[in-house]
Amino acid sequence: MKKIVLSFVVASLSLLVACGDQEQSGTTNDPQNTNSASSACLDFAIAEKYNTLDPLKVTSITAFHITSQVYEPLLRFNEKDLSLQPLIADSWVISDDNLVYTFALKRGVFFHDNPCFKDGKGRELKASDVVYTFKRIYSEKTSYGYSLFKGILKGAEDYAEGEIVGLKAIDDYNVEFTLNKPSSLFLNILAAVNSAIIPKEAVDAGAFVGSGPFTYSKEDDTEQAIKLIRNPNYHLSDKQGNKLPYIEAVAYNYAKSGQAQLDLFMDDKLDIITGIPPESIKDIVESQISDFQDKPTKYVLGRYPEIMTSYLSLNTATEPFNNIKVRQAIGMAIDKAKIVDNVLKGEAYGAGENGIVPSAIKGYDFSSIVGLENNLDKAKQLLADAGYPDGKGFPTITFATGKGNSNLRVGLEIQKQLQRNLNINVEISSLTRKELKTMNGKSELDMVLTGWLGEIPDPVTFLSLFYGDNVPSSTEDPSSPNESRYQNKKFDALYNEALTTVDTQKRYELCLSADQIIATEVPGVPLWYHESYQLIQSVVKDYQPNSMNIQYLTYVKLTEPTSEATH
């Protein structure tokens, strides 16, 4: 789902944090909320500006986190075990042939108050809004949302206007989906933010309005931060009847990733930070061990595997990477362990020695995939067999990374290894997300350092990166998400069968076979599998880190620190 291109925005420690200077506790102004333990604002840091707040078009982590607070899909992933749970949908029934899904909507779910509505008051969400949302998905064929649902609903592929055969509002609170064929992913992608339910009034007005726990306003979207305010009309309450969410606001503050974020956290300016520099972890713990061990503690430090892989995307549609031997030579010549140890300083679950699918997907035996070994002798022989002995006559590779020191350091290490090991010249560029997308769309890049964070906890989402039906006939047309433009009929057949296999074990077996093809034919070179260090202020309660990087904040509280834990 989410393309990962780190882009660091420089910020100093004099950064004005959106709500970090507020008291960490107090009394809410909302008379309906009788819980006064956590009425403050929760502060995160983000490294880049969001690219869009339209959930249909979200592809970046920053936008994913923000839109997930404002909008809601029919279902959601449980933040602890990633199981599916109702959200806007109250319940659902699946027909015996796995083709018809009928959802009963929860009553009393209201869109946020906004001038886009006639009286400025958010109206109740109805089945007609679900129908509108999915018609919009199928009409926006260049969006990421469409790529998720492509080919799934009956009669939807040629949709321009009118009705979709496989989409029907039975009444105000029941909606029916009819699929072309059984789908192993349908329920999962209904929990992705890209399928969040949106009112037509908001789209027509260009407003960002959902039914989520926090609301967006343009006035709180500044150059320093984007601050979201508690939705006083949110449809969920806790077991005691207190209206949710507990906290009054959440702020995403723009700050340089790494040490600057860490310093802001230690200065009580941030509540939660992720992606802590590994070299800083030891220093933090050793210098402030009592803050982690004494009771009460000041900080909580966690380490969590992520459903995310960083990899090299190789353009298989043009020379030299249309030659499998060249791709295999590249894969064998790169020392991934050295990148993890020396460049990333251990900030990874492990080197990408297996397939494109990471380890964090429960029940998927990713370790059974045999990746290419780091073998220079074999790499040189493969390059010679491809017609380039000792790199002679090999064209200069155009190689791009995203903006940011971390990306560039990895890119420079790869450049150095290929030059030293294969005598290959690599021309490296550090590009913005927009530049990368444009140049990839025109096949102007041979190799790109990129990454993928799964939008669902299933291996199929990673295999979609190499599905041949997503490749246009012309190399001048954008190819997304298959930016390598890889095509293999056997792989496509396994992928398609996995899409329609609802039995998890059988689907995973198909995915393992497809994953092995990618590991062998190398349209992409897995470099490392991700994990995340997260540092959390002890005043933050009921926040659950997870492998999908979901920030579910509905039940999060901010409690008042005791005098012993006060900084």
Establish if 462 belongs to a structural domain.
yes
Number of structural domains (the chain) is 1
Q: Report the Cα 85 to chain-centroid distance in Å.
A: 19
- Strands 447-453 and 2-3, by their bridges, are antiparallel
Is residue 512 classed as helix, strand or coil in its secondary structure?
helix
Establish if 191 belongs to a structural domain.
no
Establish if 254 belongs to a structural domain.
no
Domain span including residue 412:
305-530
Q: Are 554 and 245 in contact (CB under 8 A)?
A: yes
283/476 Cα distance (integer angstroms)? 50
DSSP state of 63: H
Establish if 65 belongs to a structural domain.
no
- What's the pLDDT at 282? 64
Rg (CA), the chain: 24
Average model confidence (pLDDT) across the chain? 88
Q: pTM value? A: 0.81
Q: Report the Cα 419 to chain-centroid distance in Å.
A: 33
**Euclidean distance between the first and final Cα of the chain, in Å?**
39
Instruction: Point out the least confidently predicted range of 221-225, 367-371, 433-437.
Output: 433-437
Residue 258 has pLDDT above 70, yes or no: no
Establish if 396 belongs to a structural domain.
yes
Establish if 300 belongs to a structural domain.
no
- What's the pLDDT at 315? 95
Among 162, 101, 112, CA closest to 132: 162
- What's the pLDDT at 291? 60
Instruction: Point out the least confidently predicted range of 202-216, 218-232, 272-286, 530-544.
Output: 272-286
Token readout for 228 is: 């979201």
Q: Mapped to the 3 state alphabet, what secondary structure does 72-110 carry? A: CCCEEECCCCCCEEECCEEEEEECCCCCEEEEEECCCCE
Residue 38 has pLDDT above 60, yes or no: no
Dmax (CA) for the chain in angstroms is 76
- What's the pLDDT at 142? 79
Return left, alpha or beta for 433; rule: phi > 0 is left, psi -120 to 50 is alpha, else beta.
alpha
- What's the pLDDT at 47? 81
- What's the pLDDT at 205? 97
Token readout for 471 is: 């490749």
170 vs 58, residue with greater confidence: 170
Predicted confidence band at 29 (pLDDT cuts at 50, 70, 90)?
A: very low
463 vs 144, residue with greater confidence: 463
172 vs 30, residue with greater confidence: 172
69-128 tens-digit pLDDT = 999 999 999 998 899 999 999 999 999 999 999 999 999 999 999 999 999 999 999 999
Establish if 425 belongs to a structural domain.
yes
Establish if 424 belongs to a structural domain.
yes
Predicted confidence band at 288 (pLDDT cuts at 50, 70, 90)?
A: low
* CATH, residue 349: 3.10.105.10
Q: Are 291 and 299 in contact (CB under 8 A)?
A: yes
Q: Report the Cα 530 to chain-centroid distance in Å.
A: 12
- What's the pLDDT at 435? 85
